[in-house]
Amino acid sequence: MLLSAAAIFSGLAAAQDEIPPDAAPPPAKFLSSEEVRLLETDNKDIKKRTKTLLQLMDNRLKAAESSAENQQFDTMFAELGGFHGLMDNAMDFLAASGGKSKKVPKKVLENYKRFEIALRGFAPRLELIRRNAPSTHEFYVRTLLKQLRDARTKATDPFYGDTVLSDGKP
């Protein structure tokens, strides 16, 4: 009995990750030339660049929300692809800013925190887009939400050490 229940639940979990046959192909993760120019301008100041990235991500998400309301799902997809590209760019930039040492500098930690808080606010907005998207576009938005959760997890990882401190008792 227990074995058959485990088989059913594992089958359901695997079915959730299958790409539906009518799913639209995922959009390209890209940054516009204007976004690249803005980010290169702020390349040295980590706080300013993080704020610029978050503003650009917010702009992309607003455009995707507007397109979804107007039933322009291809435009919505392109905007979400840009949002995804900016999210990946932010994670790569923050990871590179931390350096190779195990101890992450305080200003990088502050920007990880800023980034994670912003991602937390983006999640409900993406969920609303997902609910209103047709079934052909829903799979990618759901996948983007999973990637957003993973990015939030990665953004909080530097706050926690890899070691466990002993309480001094042998």
- 7 vs 69, higher pLDDT: 69
Residue 164 lies in a domain: no
Start-to-end CA distance of the chain, whole Å, equals 44
Number of domains the chain is built from: 1
In angstroms, the CA 32 to CA 34 distance is 5
Taking a C-beta distance cutoff of 8 angstroms, is the pair 22, 136 a contact? yes
Residue 1 lies in a domain: no
Structure confidence by residue, pLDDT tens digits, 28-79:
888 899 999 988 887 788 999 999 999 999 999 999 999 999 999 899 999 9
Best CA proximity match to 143, nearest among 54, 19, 30: 19
pTM of the model: 0.80
In angstroms, the CA 115 to CA 109 distance is 10
Residue 88 lies in a domain: yes
DSSP structure class, residue 158: G
- pLDDT at position 126 over 80: yes
pLDDT class of 7 with cuts at 50, 70, 90: very low
Q: What is the pLDDT of residue 3?
A: 46
In angstroms, the CA 77 to CA 126 distance is 12
Q: What is the pLDDT of residue 80?
A: 94
In angstroms, the CA 19 to CA 85 distance is 21
- 83 vs 20, higher pLDDT: 83
pLDDT class of 130 with cuts at 50, 70, 90: very high
Q: What is the pLDDT of residue 16?
A: 59
DSSP characters for 37-106?
A: HHHHHTSS-HHHHHHHHHHHHHHHHHHHHHHHHTT-HHHHHHHHHHHHHHHHHHHHHHHHHT-SSSSPPH
Span 113-121, average pLDDT = 94
Percentage of the chain lying above the pLDDT 90 cut: 49
The average confidence (pLDDT) of the chain is 83
Q: What is the pLDDT of residue 6?
A: 46
Q: What is the pLDDT of residue 29?
A: 87
Span 77-83, average pLDDT = 93
Residue 92 lies in a domain: yes
Q: How far is CA 148 from the centre of its chain?
A: 3
C-alpha distance from residue 105 to each of 11, 13, 99, 133 (Å): 44, 39, 8, 41
Q: What is the pLDDT of residue 119?
A: 94
Structural domain containing residue 84 = 27-158
Residue 9 lies in a domain: no
